[in-house]
Chains A and B, each alone.
Chain A
Amino acid sequence: MTALPAFFAPYQDAINRALERVVPGEPASTNGGAPAVIDAMRYTLLAPSKRVRAVLVMLAADICGNDNRALPAACAVEAVHAASLMLDDLPSMDDAPLRRGRPSAHRQFGEAIAILAAFGLLNNAFGHLSREYDAVLATRLVTLLADAVGLDGLVAGQAEDVLATESMLSFETLERIHRRKTGVLFSASATAGALTAGGSERDIAVLTAYAKNLGLAFQVVDDLLDVTGSSEETGKVTRQDARKTTFVSFSGVEGARALAEELCRTACAALEPFGRRGAHLRELADFVASRRL
């Protein structure tokens, strides 16, 4: 098991504390089944997690010179990600029994509550951004995340993934699915962090290149872990993708590992304009390349 970089812990603590406020335990008004939805939202959102995307938001802001305003955006990204996991695990989709080492949300709360909780998290994410930032920045961040979720993002990627489960995919199709399901949110995370810090267009371009390569590397490693990891290590059921086309299908285990490492090296190289300020992001890329969980 590869340990997270040491600098992750303070970021994770801050993010976890802030996430508590995104979905408070005591709703402002309770009626009918709302407490169940809130519980389901909190169950998935606050489950033990590496918070890679949220930390990426914070690091992108930090590298652009100011991470003081990045926490709400990090929470919104994490909420969107949690929502996507809940939907991804549904019986009509991947039908995953485990998530983050626990029964998946639909197994715990039922399918209907899980779906509602996922929508609740999405709306909370956008609402959180609108409340926490000024109108101009909030608009940009909401648009950014909406695009990441939408028809060139998570929704499109998941739809194509669901429809393509039984067929052998082309490499380009596989890349497109993963880009939309994973890469787009990685890129949005980096861009969101830069936007909250007032980063320049150049900063955003550099961070986008970094996140794009990192996102794909993350997915390639995910595919590898599905083949080589155990449920105890990954917190989810492995060999789940045996019937699916993955990067491992194209290049074999060692080839996929080599490509993941190369993608991470490219991500690190993209950070050259930031010089030594990119140290944490490079550590993050190293971690992704070598992660075992």
Chain B
Amino acid sequence: MPPSPDPRVDELREQLKALGYLDARVDRFVLGGGAKRGRGAALAAAASARLGALAGVLLGPAAAIGLRARVPGLVASGTDAIVLAAYLAIFFGLATMLVSGAAILVGAAIARRSAASPGFPRRARQVAAAAGLLVGLACLVYLSLWWHTATGAGSGSLAWTIAIVLIAVTISLLLGHGVLVTVLAFLARSGLARSLEPGLPLSSWRTTAPLAALSFAGAVALLVAAPGTRLEPAPATLTVVPTNQRVVVVGIDGIDVPTLDRLRRAGRLPQLDRLLAQGVGSLASDPDRDPARVWTTLATGQPPERHGVRSLEARRVPGLEGRLQPGASGWSAITAATDLLRLTRPTIASGETRLIPAFWEVAARAGLRTAVVHWWATWPAPDDSGIVISDRALLRLERGGPQDGEIAPASLYQALQAGWSDRRTRAASEGAAAIAAALPGDLSAAMRRSAELDATLIDLAADPLLGTPDLLVLYLPGLDIAQHALFESQSAGALSPSAAADRLAALEQYYVFLDQSLARFVDAGDRPARRSLGAGGPGEGGRSVILVTQPGRVEHAGAGMVALSGAVAATAQVSASATAVAPTILHALGVPVARDLASGPVLELFTGVFVDAHPLREVASFGARRSYARTGSGAPLDREMIERMRSLGYLR
């Protein structure tokens, strides 16, 4: 309504609004349902429900935006956002209903205590105003803190912050006004109508405008004064200084270092012996040996608190494609309860919950050609990070059908599937040949499946379809699975010495099988490679192999390893942390290392010549991992992944 030229009219307009005329839609909405029904309590209940509905509609979408910023991976699509907003609208609606209902009933009860006194009309207005202010203030504080935590102190633009605070003030005033109106309506319905003064307190512009200004200033002050949250710096531009090294990273899960050393000394693992003959960093055992968590730490160079993959098991919320990654210990009881109530269901950790780019994603962003095979939490495969054969790719290749982010680029899927049958046949043959120990039937089958799995993955990694990437990353889970079947499953209870010896022999055979399978990478490492990585690279290039084993296993503590072999590797034995693996790999490729990583590269693993030629270069940060939109939900493979993980001993 444009301001009238006569200031008296504006004033009258405000007075009329205060008396319930003109635009009193909020009042009508809030009181409408309870206007004629029952006594005060019924009116309070109906009005609270309507205030809850109002709050749900207003706060649900806002909170969904905030939660999306706080929990990356939870919202994977527009549908997710809508469903999440609906959930939060219900949550905030119920919360507001309860808070408003309590404020209305308590406010009305306080006011009624002075019903017989001459000062009741004034007292009633004061109490109603106080109840409204209290609810409005609580709402404003919450919304301000939400904005603060959602964006980080000072990270939102000034314009956005002003807009959000204005919206927060409006919502808060609206809800506070609703409570105020309802308290007075409650009193009127309780037989005190004639004792009440007409009109509403705090409803003319003369009081509302200063109140809004004060609220705005308070909210801004709160934003400024509240403890800041750490901000993710913008990703730096990455410039590669060519090292002329193609790097192969082989991650072997489940290696038991004493067993490995014993077999090396016996001369049974010549390939692994060559990989471990130069620079070896010992990785201290992680106290929390969840494999998804540890392997993601190895891949990102950041601890779980930063990279976001806190456990193998995540939660799906019905209707949402994204995943919720419970972190704190207290979550287990909550998720158990929500699972029971079917509000959530378990799923496997995925790349959607990872907040930090893995080293292959950094390398791809720097312009290198990369390929990664079967590493933990690589599904869904982004389409801008080189070749990604994710940890769900094998399931998809086995089952066929349209893929849902299992392999990137998508065009590779058809090509791999065309040769899938032959590949499986070859792998089955290799697996059967690998295990010859006398084992019970089920154990023998488990061992063969493990060997077949590793053989398949190695075959995939060596497929010409992957080209000649500057960085090839391969994760092999077979040894860990075999070891679990042999010694950690239910059948491994009380073993006789001979049975134990048979199983140990089978395990040793598996080490030998792995050793032989890795020959193709080790042998190639000795040959000169093409001149690579752009102009300016001095001399002939080569291939470095970096072997990574997990520090600690699900069942046992134990040191891990990062071993560098090839022309650039020094002969050294050092201690390192799991977070040093990713920067070490990047440094070998000539990619600058982010200063905000938890560790720097293990330079002792490199020769002095290499270190002199390639001094450590740093950038501020790799930034956060961006989220990727998917077309599917991944749900069809979720159950199968869970069953597979359970059968492998990862899930209980």
Beyond A204-B35, A259-B13, whether A251 also contacts B8 by CB under 8 A is: yes
Contacts of A202 in B (CB 8 A): 32-33
B12 at the interface (CB under 8 A from A): yes
Beyond A205-B31, A262-B22, whether A255 also contacts B37 by CB under 8 A is: no
Contact (Cβ within 8 A) B33 A259: no
B329 at the interface (CB under 8 A from A): no
Contact residue among A151, A152, A208, A259 (Cβ-Cβ distance under 8 Å from B16): A259
Contacts of A205 in B (CB 8 A): 28, 31-33, 35-36
B-contact 0/1 string along A226-266, CB 8 Å cutoff: 00000000000000000000010011101100110011001
Beyond A201-B36, A262-B13, whether A175 also contacts B24 by CB under 8 A is: no
A-contact 0/1 string along B11-39, CB 8 Å cutoff: 01101100111111100100111011100
Contact (Cβ within 8 A) B22 A266: yes
Can you list the 10 inter-chain pairs with the closest CB atoms, starting with the nearest? A205-B32, A255-B9, A255-B6, A266-B22, A205-B35, A201-B36, A251-B8, A209-B28, A251-B9, A251-B12
Known: A202-B32, A205-B35, A212-B21. 13 other contacts (CB 8 A): A201-B37, A206-B28, A206-B32, A212-B20, A213-B21, A213-B22, A258-B4, A258-B9, A262-B1, A262-B13, A262-B22, A266-B23, A270-B28
A274 at the interface (CB under 8 A from B): no
Give the distance in Å from the alpha carbon of A176 to the alpha carbon of B198 in the complex.
8
B194 at the interface (CB under 8 A from A): yes
Give the distance in Å from the alpha carbon of A269 to the alpha carbon of B25 in the complex.
9
A-B contact pairs, 15 of them (CB 8 A): A201-B32, A202-B33, A204-B36, A205-B36, A206-B32, A251-B9, A252-B8, A255-B4, A255-B12, A259-B9, A259-B13, A262-B13, A262-B22, A269-B23, A270-B25
B199 at the interface (CB under 8 A from A): yes
Q: Is the interface of B mostly helix, strand, loop or mixed?
A: loop
A172 at the interface (CB under 8 A from B): yes
Contact (Cβ within 8 A) B198 A255: no
Contact (Cβ within 8 A) A250 B8: yes
Give the distance in Å from the alpha carbon of A263 to the alpha carbon of B22 in the complex.
6
Contact (Cβ within 8 A) B22 A201: no
Give the distance in Å from the alpha carbon of A269 to the alpha carbon of B22 in the complex.
9
Give the distance in Å from the alpha carbon of A102 to the alpha carbon of B9 in the complex.
36
Contact (Cβ within 8 A) A172 B33: no
Q: Which residues of B in the span 30-50 have a Cβ within 8 Å of any Cβ on A? A: 31-33, 35-37
A7 at the interface (CB under 8 A from B): no
Contacts of A259 in B (CB 8 A): 9, 12-13, 16
Contacts of B8 in A (CB 8 A): 250-252, 255
Give the distance in Å from the alpha carbon of A27 to the alpha carbon of B19 in the complex.
45
Give the distance in Å from the alpha carbon of A49 to the alpha carbon of B25 in the complex.
33
B-contact 0/1 string along A264-283, CB 8 Å cutoff: 00100110000000000000
- Distance in angstroms from B44 CB to nearest chain A CB is 16
- Distance in angstroms from B421 CB to nearest chain A CB is 64
Give the distance in Å from the alpha carbon of A123 to the alpha carbon of B193 in the complex.
27
A190 at the interface (CB under 8 A from B): no
Contact (Cβ within 8 A) A201 B33: yes
- Distance in angstroms from B314 CB to nearest chain A CB is 44
Give the distance in Å from the alpha carbon of A209 to the alpha carbon of B32 in the complex.
10
- Distance in angstroms from B195 CB to nearest chain A CB is 12
Contact (Cβ within 8 A) B9 A216: no
Give the distance in Å from the alpha carbon of A74 to the alpha carbon of B95 in the complex.
45
> Which residue of chain A has the shortest Cβ distance to B31 in the bound complex?
A205
Which of B9, B31, B35 has the most A CB atoms < 10 Å from its CB?
B9
Give the distance in Å from the alpha carbon of A15 to the alpha carbon of B22 in the complex.
30
Give the distance in Å from the alpha carbon of A205 to the alpha carbon of B30 in the complex.
11
State the A residues within 8 Å of B (CB): 151-152, 171-172, 175-176, 201-202, 204-206, 208-209, 212-213, 216, 247, 250-252, 254-255, 258-259, 262-263, 266, 269-270
Beyond A262-B22, A266-B22, whether A254 also contacts B12 by CB under 8 A is: no
Contact (Cβ within 8 A) B194 A152: yes
Q: Report the interface size for chain B: residues with CB under 8 A from the other chain.
A: 27
Give the distance in Å from the alpha carbon of A208 to the alpha carbon of B35 in the complex.
10
State the B residues within 8 Å of A (CB): 1, 4, 6, 8-9, 12-13, 15-16, 19-25, 28, 31-33, 35-37, 193-194, 198-199
- Distance in angstroms from A65 CB to nearest chain B CB is 18
Contacts of A251 in B (CB 8 A): 6, 8-9, 12
Give the distance in Å from the alpha carbon of A204 to the alpha carbon of B9 in the complex.
30
> Which residue of chain B has the shortest Cβ distance to A254 in the bound complex?
B6
> Which residue of chain B has the shortest Cβ distance to A213 in the bound complex?
B21
Give the distance in Å from the alpha carbon of A172 to the alpha carbon of B33 in the complex.
27
- Distance in angstroms from B184 CB to nearest chain A CB is 15
- Distance in angstroms from B24 CB to nearest chain A CB is 7
Contact residue among A151, A208, A250, A269 (Cβ-Cβ distance under 8 Å from B12): A250
Give the distance in Å from the alpha carbon of A127 to the alpha carbon of B37 in the complex.
27
Contact (Cβ within 8 A) A172 B6: no
Which of B4, B37, B193 has the most A CB atoms < 10 Å from its CB?
B4
Give the distance in Å from the alpha carbon of A258 to the alpha carbon of B4 in the complex.
9
Contact (Cβ within 8 A) B12 A266: no
- Distance in angstroms from B468 CB to nearest chain A CB is 68
Contacts of B28 in A (CB 8 A): 205-206, 209, 270
Give the distance in Å from the alpha carbon of A262 to the alpha carbon of B15 in the complex.
14
Give the distance in Å from the alpha carbon of A266 to the alpha carbon of B35 in the complex.
20
- Distance in angstroms from B21 CB to nearest chain A CB is 6
Contacts of B21 in A (CB 8 A): 212-213, 216, 263, 266
Give the distance in Å from the alpha carbon of A175 to the alpha carbon of B14 in the complex.
13
Give the distance in Å from the alpha carbon of A270 to the alpha carbon of B1 in the complex.
16
Give the distance in Å from the alpha carbon of A216 to the alpha carbon of B16 in the complex.
10
> Which residue of chain A has the shortest Cβ distance to B23 in the bound complex?
A266
- Distance in angstroms from B49 CB to nearest chain A CB is 13
Contact (Cβ within 8 A) B31 A175: no
- Distance in angstroms from A220 CB to nearest chain B CB is 10
Give the distance in Å from the alpha carbon of A251 to the alpha carbon of B1 in the complex.
17
Contacts of A152 in B (CB 8 A): 193-194
Give the distance in Å from the alpha carbon of A28 to the alpha carbon of B628 in the complex.
88
Contacts of A176 in B (CB 8 A): 198
Contacts of A252 in B (CB 8 A): 6, 8
- Distance in angstroms from A27 CB to nearest chain B CB is 38
Give the distance in Å from the alpha carbon of A262 to the alpha carbon of B9 in the complex.
11
> Which residue of chain A has the shortest Cβ distance to B199 in the bound complex?
A172
Contact residue among A172, A209, A254, A255 (Cβ-Cβ distance under 8 Å from B15): A172
Give the distance in Å from the alpha carbon of A208 to the alpha carbon of B21 in the complex.
11
Contacts of B9 in A (CB 8 A): 251, 255, 258-259
Contacts of B16 in A (CB 8 A): 175, 216, 259, 263
- Distance in angstroms from B34 CB to nearest chain A CB is 8
> Which residue of chain B has the shortest Cβ distance to A250 in the bound complex?
B12
Contacts of A258 in B (CB 8 A): 4, 9
Give the distance in Å from the alpha carbon of A216 to the alpha carbon of B24 in the complex.
14
Contact residue among B12, B20, B31 (Cβ-Cβ distance under 8 Å from A171): B12
> Which residue of chain A has the shortest Cβ distance to B1 in the bound complex?
A262
- Distance in angstroms from A129 CB to nearest chain B CB is 19
Contact (Cβ within 8 A) A172 B24: no
Contact (Cβ within 8 A) B198 A175: yes
Give the distance in Å from the alpha carbon of A263 to the alpha carbon of B21 in the complex.
7
Contacts of B12 in A (CB 8 A): 171, 247, 250-251, 255, 259
Contact residue among B1, B37, B193, B198 (Cβ-Cβ distance under 8 Å from A172): B198
Contacts of B32 in A (CB 8 A): 201-202, 205-206
Contact (Cβ within 8 A) B35 A201: yes
